[in-house]
Amino acid sequence: MEVQDVHIGKQLQVNFSPAGSIPIPCAAYLTGAAAIPGTGFFNGGVMVGSPILQPLHTAALQISRPDPVSNPLAFKAPSIVHIRGLPPPASTPIDVVIGDPLGPVGITMATTLVIEINTISKKTISPLDINIISLMKKLGVQVDNGATVETGAQAQAGAEARASVKAIAGPMAVAGPVSSPKFIGPIFTGRALGNKPFDISHPTQTDKRVRHICAEGPEPAIYIRGKLEGEHIIKLPDYWKGLVDYDTITVHLTPFGRRDNLYVKDIQEDRIIVAGDHLANVNCFYEVWVARWLNPDNHDDKLHVVYDGESPADYPGDNNHFSFSLPPGYHG
């Protein structure tokens, strides 16, 4: 049967059952005289939109954008799904429910853009794993209670306020200054943590890892190292100018292949000149160490290695040029 328009006055049911069996009624919407008006029940599946975009049976409810050729008027709708509640402040946390404690669900999103306009607050009350692919924009306040796991890059343009510990297991790149005008709560430099390691997967052996410990010293030291073969000039990086104190440069030279009385003849901003018994044919390994300026804007700032105090907040210098980590259980 094919008709142009059908009006169902109270309830629509598409309720299949094997031959000889009684269909299972829809208890949620009731039936017969007690049926909730304006309801529909399908015990199989529902597809909305273009069947071309949904060629396979993949879900009980399949939704896609309408086909622009066969139904151009429906295709003009700007959204595929639009859920709307009553005007604020009538909204509640259960306006849209996806899963519940008795029937939890997993969520997979393959998106190009997510825009969240949040005028009140957002709470995560369960430590769920959330995988976000592509770009997400959030407007409003976000409150997370529980663990959040992020794999991949995260870009943030704006302020972040945190009144708790933030642990990062892996590299973190910050393109711009990180500062704190005042210390809010305890801070820690690593005394209780002891060593400051980095831990990576073994480059050639599966199920093995490599852990190294960071070098420590009473200065913000950096270094370059390399090899001279048939030359006597160590070229220094261009970016050292304005970054380092050239008066702190030290040079280690190790001849290879033969004995040689090597020494540093001169240190300039762009080079170190090496001399020895075989000036025209210097062969050596080199290692150059230098201290960065503690404060690039004020070269008079020096590191206070030992100072009076009970916490890093008592440091007598400018703490804005240091970063700190807080170990688990620290309450100092």
pLDDT single digits (tens) 247-273: 999 999 999 988 889 999 999 999 999
Burial class (CB in 10 A: 0-12, 13-18, 19+), 81: exposed
State the distance between the two ends of the chain, measured CA to CA, in whole angstroms.
79
Residue with tokens 């050639």: 204
81 found inside a domain: no
Six-digit token string for 247: 């008066």
Q: Report the alpha-carbon distance of residue 171 to residue 200 in Å, rounded.
A: 11
Count of alpha carbons within 13 Å of 140, Cβ hemisphere only? Answer: 13
Domain boundaries, position 146 = 106-161
298 found inside a domain: no
pLDDT at 97: 92
Q: What is the DSSP string of 62-86?
A: EE-PPPTTT-HHHHT-S-S-----P
What residues form DSSP beta bridges with 209? Answer: 201
For residue 262, what is the DSSP state? -
118 found inside a domain: yes
User: What contacts 169, CB < 8 A, 6 or more positions away?
Assistant: none
32 found inside a domain: no
288 found inside a domain: yes
| Cα dihedral: 181, 185, 186, 188 (round 10) | -40
* Long-range contacts of residues 65-71, Cβ cutoff 8 Å, at least 24 apart: none
Nearest to 37 by CA among 5, 11, 75: 11
Q: Report the alpha-carbon distance of residue 110 to residue 48 in Å, rounded.
A: 20
Cβ–Cβ under 8 Å, residues 184 and 162: no
pLDDT at 185: 44
pLDDT at 189: 44
121 found inside a domain: yes
Q: Report the alpha-carbon distance of residue 268 to residue 262 in Å, rounded.
A: 18
Where the chain has pLDDT below 50, the residues are: 127-129, 131-133, 182-193, 331-332
Please tell me the total count of domains within the chain: 2
Count of alpha carbons within 13 Å of 145, Cβ hemisphere only? Answer: 6
Six-digit token string for 36: 């909730």
pLDDT at 147: 66
pLDDT at 132: 46
266 found inside a domain: yes
- Enter the pTM of the model: 0.41
